[in-house]
Amino acid sequence: MPGMKPKKSWGQGSVTEAVLTDNELCVPRLIPLVMMTFIVMIGLFHLFTGYFGGLSPYPQRLVTLSLFILLGLFFYPLGRETWKSKLTPWFFLDLALALAVLAGTIYVLLDWEHFSAFRMSSSLPVDRLVSSIFIVVLLELGRRCLGWPIVAISLFFLLVNLFSDHLWGWLYGFPVSWKMTCEVIFMQPEAGIFSIPLTVCTNYLVTFLIFVGFLLVSGVDRQFVLLANALAGRYSGGPAKVAVIGSAFVGMMQGAPSANVAATGSFTIPMMKKLGFDPATAGAVESCASTGGQMVPPIMGSTAFIIAAFLEISYLEVCANALIPSLIFYCCVIFGVHFYSQRKGLSGLPAAEVPGLAKSLAQGWPVFLPFLVLLGLMAKGYGLGLVGVLSVVSLWVASSFKKETRLTAQSVLHALEIGAKTGIVVTIACAVVGIIVGTFYVSGLGDRLSTAIVSASGGNLVLGLLLTAAACIILGMGMVIPAVYLMMVYISIPALIEMGAAPIAAHFFVFMFCVVAAITPPVGLALYVASGISGASVMNIGWRAMRLGVPLFLIPFFIVWDPVLLGLGNPWLVGLALLSGLIGAAFLEAGFEGWFIKKANILQRVFFALAGAMLLVPEPFTDLAGLLLGLATFWVNTRQQK
């Protein structure tokens, strides 16, 4: 936006600021110095191994996990709100935990081959002590940065394994000793903590999070908003359309919808209110735009990397699969904003406040170029770790062409800090879920749970989908998207596949409902952030957000019916599904907002909404019926007005 001030080389209150300035701190300056040391170690380790190749799998994953645990204990201290708060006696417990983890890491690395290969079925007492330390510290750190739900579930399955001979139903089984639990959850390279989720983090996800940190520091978020303003700012409801487009691009880089709402909503929501949007609608628009960013290629938050690993397909394929649903979703939000603005008679921004498109592109091209490098390298089939490193390098080079985007030493440190801080949440989530994976692996509990889900739904796929959707939304109340998705990978997805869903459809069904949980009242976290900024109630924002984002509630069911909406199948049918979905989005929002070209009465609104829903169903017959119904309603609407 015009008048937006460029960011500093570091964020206010960041570790980078504490290290590079002489600002007065409530903690000894040694603490931010130690934190910055870990941040730089994480960045250099993953950029180096991403380019030159990693260590052997077990020590590579252990080093990644240990570095993030050590940094996490500082970023999420016990008994204090943030690392900057005044020290309390609890600090010494955190210090003891950090030293224990560091000692355990050194112990394992000194003899890792025997530890993870020859002693994992005949462990020594000290092996089990180290394993127990890591399990306990992970659960405690998970409680701090992820919340109680995922920790409670992990503890539940640990206790079930230990006392399964005293339980009943699908919980009954042979008890698993703590010795065997430690050997499987921590000592085996592929079974528990170090299974697929943490492998993804270690091999390339952390590298991409560092790339995102460099993008944000280079000002790509501001450039995207400026570009969105040039594209849509002058039209009816322009500020809201700018919020949608800008938040979509920024949201794909942010790790959580609520963080995106806080980052972009702080200026888009007041801007929308200023031009006539009621507070609830302004909050709903920003919530939807920020939430859908998790599905926007080519970055898609962080969950897409994990989806690719579980489906054993390329990351580029996952991006292609998400393209049609994300396009339909954002077109629905844009149409909703447009019809609302038309109904309220709202104008766009004054011409003087809208930059020219050519000028915006000329100003922002350095920060857009790395996306082309990213897609090009992935299309060529390069490994994702190498792609992440080369994307960082390309951004560094491209940003140096303009003074306002040029990276300084301070901004590089801040970029590494952003990547590392985001990586704490993702890595700890993957490791804690790995504890659950280990309990399933050692006892067969996962198979029994999947069988119980199939039995509870009576083998009915629709009922199984409804139960899974409800579970995703409930778990999404207190867990980040990657953590919820990983939980469902081992609990619900096998059951859905057994009931007849295609594997890719089952994974995307869960992924989309993990995303949509952020805008589902009363539990959606994005709604609470938007409520704090807009001043509207959470429920009012929530119902309007569901209305704007209705495709995300319908498409997951349709892709299980026919995965053509994921871009799979006959190209003509894929094109038809995209076109009908976009038209359906327009009719849906016309029905919800009561406006197309002119005001619609209640009957016309019902017919518009019904036509839109029919067009979203990936079937030629329903597409034709929905199109005819929508066009007939449109004709009646315009003729009645005349």
Give the pLDDT confidence of 447-461 residue by residue, as tens digits. 788 888 888 888 899
3-state helix, strand, coil split of the chain in percent (to 5) is 75, 0, 25
pLDDT at 2: 40
pLDDT at 6: 43
Contacts 24+ apart (CB under 8 A), 6-10: 6/219, 6/222, 6/404, 7/217, 7/219, 7/222, 9/217, 9/408, 9/410, 9/411, 9/414, 10/410, 10/411, 10/413, 10/414, 10/417
- Give the pLDDT confidence of 183-215 residue by residue, as tens digits: 999 998 888 899 989 999 999 889 989 988 888
Tokens found for residue 233: 């700012």
pLDDT at 585: 93
- Give the pLDDT confidence of 548-562 residue by residue, as tens digits: 989 989 999 999 988
Tally the C-alpha atoms within 13 A of residue 272's C-alpha that lie toward its C-beta.
30
Contact 357, 230 (CB under 8 A): yes
Residue 502 has pLDDT above 90, yes or no: yes
pLDDT at 7: 47
pLDDT at 642: 47
Residue 143 has pLDDT above 70, yes or no: yes
* More confident site: 264 or 2: 264
Q: Any idea what DSSP says for residue 254?
A: S
- Give the pLDDT confidence of 236-277 residue by residue, as tens digits: 667 677 777 777 777 777 667 887 788 778 778 887 887 788
Report the helix count and the strand count for the chain, using DSSP H and E: 30, 0
Sign of the CA dihedral 265, 266, 268, 273? positive
Q: Model confidence at 114, in pLDDT bands (50, 70, 90)?
A: confident
pLDDT at 68: 97
pLDDT at 262: 81
pLDDT at 150: 86
Mean pLDDT value across the chain: 87
pLDDT at 1: 41
Calpha distance 127→187 (Å, rounded): 8
Among residues of the chain, what percentage have pLDDT more than 90?
A: 45
Average pLDDT over residues 495-521: 93
One DSSP character per residue, 128-190 reads HHHHHHHHHHHHHHHHHHH-HHHHHHHHHHHHHHHTGGG--GGG-S----HHHHHIIIIISTT
Q: Lowest-confidence range among 133-142, 246-255, 490-499?
A: 246-255
Calpha distance 344→272 (Å, rounded): 13
Q: Give me the residues paired with residue 133 across strands.
A: none
pLDDT at 233: 66
pLDDT at 405: 72
* More confident site: 243 or 32: 32
Q: Lowest-confidence range among 42-46, 129-133, 305-309, 355-359?
A: 355-359
Domain boundaries, the chain: 15-161+173-184, 203-567, 569-642
- Give the pLDDT confidence of 463-474 residue by residue, as tens digits: 999 999 998 988
- Give the pLDDT confidence of 512-566 residue by residue, as tens digits: 999 999 898 887 888 988 998 898 898 999 999 999 989 989 999 999 988 999 9
Q: Model confidence at 568, in pLDDT bands (50, 70, 90)?
A: very high
- Give the pLDDT confidence of 585-594 residue by residue, as tens digits: 999 999 999 9
One DSSP character per residue, 307-330 reads HHHHHT--HHHHHHHHHHHHHHHH
* Cβ-Cβ contacts under 8 Å for 154 (sequence gap 6 or more): 139, 142, 432, 435, 436, 439
Among residues of the chain, what percentage have pLDDT more than 70?
A: 93
Q: Model confidence at 506, in pLDDT bands (50, 70, 90)?
A: very high
Q: Give me the residues paired with residue 599 across strands.
A: 595
Calpha distance 429→434 (Å, rounded): 8
pLDDT at 191: 81
Contacts 24+ apart (CB under 8 A), 316-319: 316/375, 316/378, 316/379
Q: What angle do CA 593, 230, 324 make, to 5 degrees?
A: 55
Q: Position 272: which residue type?
A: M
Residue 350 has pLDDT above 80, yes or no: no
* Cβ-Cβ contacts under 8 Å for 527 (sequence gap 6 or more): 283, 287, 518, 519, 521, 538, 541, 542, 545
pLDDT at 5: 43
Residue 352 has pLDDT above 70, yes or no: no
Residue 300 backbone zone (phi > 0: left; psi -120 to 50: alpha; other: beta): left
Candidates 435, 434, 497, 437; CA nearest to 465 is: 497
* Cβ-Cβ contacts under 8 Å for 222 (sequence gap 6 or more): 4, 6, 7
Contact 595, 601 (CB under 8 A): no
- Give the pLDDT confidence of 397-417 residue by residue, as tens digits: 888 877 777 888 899 999 999
* More confident site: 496 or 121: 496
* More confident site: 52 or 221: 52
